Amino acid sequence: MHPELFRIGSFVLPTYGALLAAAFLAAVWLLRKRAPAFGVAPDAAADVAIWLLLAGLLGAKILLLAVEGPRYLGSREGFVEFLRSGGVFYGGLIGAVLALGVMLRRKAIGFWAFADIAAPCVALGHAIGRIGCLMAGCCWGRSCSAPWAITFTDPAAADNVGVPLNLPLHPTQIYEAVGLLVLCGILVAMRNPRFPGRIFAAYLGGYALLRGTVEFFRGDPRGSVLGGALSTSQLIALGGIAAALAIWLLNRKKAPQGAAA
């Protein structure tokens, strides 16, 4: 697609980086809009979001190394590719959740309240980020002959992330982006949380189902488990579904009678 937004001399602005910045700004905008309805000050919510972004970026890189370490650390070219890569989203999600517990204590914000505020914001930012993946060429799909298949032709994309050129592929980035926008809309529509953690549990389970399905159409290296039966992200998605069910059932049980109806 268009891995470079523009180039001036030796300076290059990657399209992925620009869209990643746009994703964060859009997520924070929605976060600030939602915060007052949950009794949280918009500025306090935005401060937490900045730290979550840093923790998420670190977590995404760590999981990428855990899954594909030899590929990225075996050569200088591989290491450069690692620096350019956005990482594995599930690693970012895990890193952000771990950081969340620390930051919320400092800001005196309830964990479940913030999780319910942030859930659709994460989906919105992630959807925009997936368009960045499309522009960069990463997270590509398997070869296919469908009329909506996409073909990458820019040599810079192949050099940066290794996407195969001149081969029709499933537009997995678009599949996931559209699914995330739908998920965001559903979560925003859940205005009455009924019980703490309900919106976050819906996000966790909804994204796990989406990601686990899209993985079947992915063609890039993503690690494998159980003898290749599942990708690493599909295994994590199964854990996400289990966690979503546990949060939903336990928090609903603890809610005052009538509130969880």
Dump the DSSP string for 150-163. B----HHHHHHH-P
94 falls within a domain: yes
172 falls within a domain: yes
Per-residue confidence band for 172, with pLDDT thresholds at 50, 70 and 90 = very high
Over residues 159-178, mean pLDDT? 94
Q: How many domains does the chain have?
A: 1
- The pLDDT score that the predictor gives to residue 257 is 59
146 falls within a domain: yes
Distances in Å between the Cα of 107 and the Cα atoms of 58, 101, 112, 227 are: 22, 10, 14, 45
The DSSP bridge pattern shows strands 4-8 and 230-231 to be unpaired
- The pLDDT score that the predictor gives to residue 259 is 53
User: Quick count: other Cβ atoms within 10 Å of Cβ 32?
Assistant: 18
Per-residue confidence band for 78, with pLDDT thresholds at 50, 70 and 90 = confident
- Specify the pTM: 0.84
249 falls within a domain: no
3-state secondary structure of 198: helix
Is residue 54 scored above 50 in pLDDT?
yes
- The pLDDT score that the predictor gives to residue 83 is 65
Per-residue confidence band for 40, with pLDDT thresholds at 50, 70 and 90 = very high
- Residue given tokens 């996931």 in the structure block: 176
Is residue 69 scored above 90 in pLDDT?
no
29 falls within a domain: yes
- The pLDDT score that the predictor gives to residue 227 is 79
- The pLDDT score that the predictor gives to residue 5 is 78
CA atoms within 13 A on the CB side of 252: 13
- The pLDDT score that the predictor gives to residue 183 is 98
**Chain-centroid distance, C-alpha 111:** 20
Q: Are 237 and 213 in contact (CB under 8 A)?
A: no
Q: Are 88 and 64 in contact (CB under 8 A)?
A: yes
What single-letter DSSP state applies at residue 35?
G
237 falls within a domain: no
- The pLDDT score that the predictor gives to residue 261 is 45
Between CA 161 and CA 15 the distance in angstroms is 13
User: Can you list the pairs that 178-181 forms with residues at least 24 positions away whose Cβ atoms lie under 8 Å?
Assistant: 178/127, 179/210, 179/214, 180/123, 180/124, 180/126, 180/127, 180/130, 180/207, 180/210, 181/123, 181/124, 181/127
183 falls within a domain: yes
- The pLDDT score that the predictor gives to residue 34 is 95
- The pLDDT score that the predictor gives to residue 91 is 84
Pick the more confident residue, 220 or 84: 220
The amino acid present at 11, given as its one-letter code, is F
Is residue 260 scored above 70 in pLDDT?
no
Lowest-pLDDT choice from 80-89, 105-114, 190-199, 249-258: 80-89
User: For residue 196, what are the contacts with CB-CB under 8 A and spacing of at least 6?
Assistant: 110, 112, 113, 116, 251, 255
Over residues 208-231, mean pLDDT? 88
Pick the more confident residue, 128 or 10: 128
Q: How much helix, strand and coil, in percent to the nearest 5, is found in the chain?
A: 70, 5, 25
**Domain with 101 in it:** 4-195
- The pLDDT score that the predictor gives to residue 191 is 77
159 falls within a domain: yes
Is residue 258 scored above 60 in pLDDT?
no
